[in-house]
Amino acid sequence: LENYYLPNAGDLLELQVSPETTSDRVHMSLVLHLLVGGSRMELGEPAEALPHLEQALGLTRMLVDREPNNARYARDWVGAHRSVGVALVGLGRFAEGRKKLEEGVRLAENLATRDPMNGAAQAQLIECLHEWAKGSAKAASAAKTTPARQAELWREVVQILTRGEKRLAAPELERIKPQFRDTAPEVNQELREARSALANA
């Protein structure tokens, strides 16, 4: 972050986009914002990450509007929603974060349905479902959450993880993304914990 992204990418991070700005240059800017935002998240700095991730989201929207059939931009659109959602959850802005993650799931489902053998689309859908479930679980566990709201949120977590479990069991996923064998036990464990939390809510 300090030795590479920030010193070498200032012009792209501060890019003032106009209708004349090429899509390639806009895409380079959004990728750098995602990299810087992601680095900040890994450092445990969601407040510093969020502006970069929101900038990436806006740039991606611009590219999707320009080229609605571009699969790469469509995947970036999903990824930007997921990243912003995770950052918002990290800041305790649970409702906003969960809304962004839910939208990421909707967009990812559209991509996965249009192209079931697209491994990247399937991977994004599972990642978005997983992050959405984690965001709802954090909201349920927050100190200010009422018991009634906790029950609602744990029910939501169970529903989301059940969707993820079914997606992980899809035959086409085994052929295109065998590494998800490692994800399935994690999702199964979280689903058991969520069911237990719901039962005790």
Q: How many percent of the chain have pLDDT more than 90?
A: 64
What average pLDDT score do residues 195-199 get? 94
- Res. 177 pLDDT band, cuts 50 70 90: low
Q: Which pTM does this prediction carry?
A: 0.89
Contacts of 62 (CB under 8 A, 6+ apart): 17, 26
Q: Is residue 62's pLDDT more than 90? A: yes
The whole-angstrom separation of Cα 168 and Cα 56 is 29
DSSP percent split of the chain into helix, strand, coil, nearest 5: 80, 0, 20
Is residue 5 predicted with pLDDT exceeding 80?
Answer: no
Helix (H, G, I), strand (E, B) or coil at 109: helix
The CA distance from 94 to 88, in Å, is: 7
Predicted confidence at residue 52, as pLDDT, reads: 94
Between CA 78 and CA 88 the distance in angstroms is 16
Residues ≥6 apart with Cβ < 8 Å to 139 = 89, 94, 95, 98, 145, 153
Digit-coded pLDDT (tens) for 103-125? 999 999 999 888 877 778 888 89
Encode pLDDT of 71-86 as tens digits: 899 999 999 999 999 9
What is the predicted pLDDT for the residue at 184? Answer: 82
CA-closest candidate to residue 93, choices 138, 133, 52, 51: 138
Two tokens at 89? 């959850």
